[in-house]
Amino acid sequence: MFRRLLAAFRTRTTAAAPAPATHDAITACDEHGRQVVMPRAEWRDKVLHPQLKQHWNTPDALYGTILTALSDGFAPELMTAAARLVEIDGLSERSHVTHGIVLLESGRLDEAEAVLQAGIRTVGETAALLTNLAKVRHDRDDTAGAADLLRRAVRLDPNFEHGLNGWLAVEHERAGEAGFLQALQEACALPASWRARLLLARHHLAAGDLPAAREQYTAVLAEEDVDGGALMTMAADLAQYGHTGLIVTLVGPVYEPTRHGPQAAFHLLRACLETERVAEGEALLARLRAVAPPPFTRHLDEFQRAFDQLHGNEVHA
């Protein structure tokens, strides 16, 4: 767990030039939906730059292009586009966070801090702005300053994943597992906090303490509006630690197809198959078919065939 948390607060290069990319090719789709592999330099010149130019006056499209290029390691190529996004985007938090991340990933810490502070002056403190400002402090080896900003971010939104994970990572870095658990308990106590409870439940599952994990799950499921991501995470963790039956008994009664999305449903269906709860699984399939978009129909058909096979096994038993 800690390796994943710390990855969000890795130390970045602060040199003017970015570190060499791990991969020298980009995989993309052409106009016919076919995958193509292109050298990075070629993709930058023939795809990225034309896309940035095409979307120069369209905030949503420009934002999406910047995000995709960021994930491919092109931060230094995006500084002008990210500054343009701040100029045209009606969503000031989004644009300032994006510009700050581009500068941060390019090793330009002073400029990143200035942009993020400008965002705070524009929209006030938000979890996303404070979290990325904390990354600036962390990259300057100001662990205490980073921890303070992250704690404020978590208090603003305890379910903002990057802020919570960052705070837990920094506290573990500062004070070991005791610091991690103390921060996690504090986050759990905040109003409407569910993400921290799931992390605490995972900690208990790893330690073999199922009753303690179940206590956290019960608290999350008691909320009036349970997040679909919470159900998906809960189901995945229970499956990983060998408690498949609890997916059906805990998640099943709460799950609503129109509110919670398909991923939690797939975990539920797999759990029904593994525990041979055919009636519950086929009832869920019927509910899903009534609302599922066409791309998911194939997956539902696969589950139906698996349940049919279970029926056949029952007949021959």
- Cα gap 246→230, rounded to integer Å: 15
Whole-structure pTM value: 0.85
Alpha-carbon gap, residue 236 to 247, rounded angstroms: 9
Nearest to 261 by CA among 220, 293, 294: 293
Is residue 30 classed as helix, strand or coil in its secondary structure?
Answer: coil
Structure tokens at 279: 């009636």
Q: What is the DSSP letter of 75?
A: G
Rounded to 5 degrees, φ, ψ at 15 are: -70, 160
How far from each other are the two terminal CA atoms of the chain, in whole angstroms?
Answer: 43
Tell me, rounded to whole angstroms, the distance of Cα 24 from its chain centroid.
26
CB 25, CB 37: distance < 8 Å? yes
Look at residues 271, 274, 287, 281 and name the one whose alpha carbon lies nearest to residue 304: 281
pLDDT digits (tens, 9 = 90+) for 209-266: 999 999 999 999 999 899 999 999 999 999 999 999 999 999 999 999 999 988 899 9
Tokens 């060998």, residue located: 242
Quote the pLDDT of residue 44: 93
User: What pLDDT, on a 0 to 100 scale, did the predictor assign at position 26?
Assistant: 83
Domain boundaries defined on the chain = 227-312
Cα pseudo-dihedral 145, 150, 155, 161, rounded to 10: 180
Strand, coil or helix: 241: coil
Structure-derived torsion over alpha carbons of residues 102, 95, 261, 218, reported in degrees to the nearest 10? 90
**What span, in angstroms and rounded, lies between the C-alpha atoms of 28 and 263?**
25
Phi, psi of 37 (to 5 degrees): -110, 130
Segments in the chain below pLDDT 50: 2-7, 10-22, 315-317
Bridge partners, residue 37, by sequence: 27
What's the pLDDT score for residue 30? 62
Residue with tokens 């938090």: 93
Q: What is the largest CA-CA distance in the chain?
A: 71
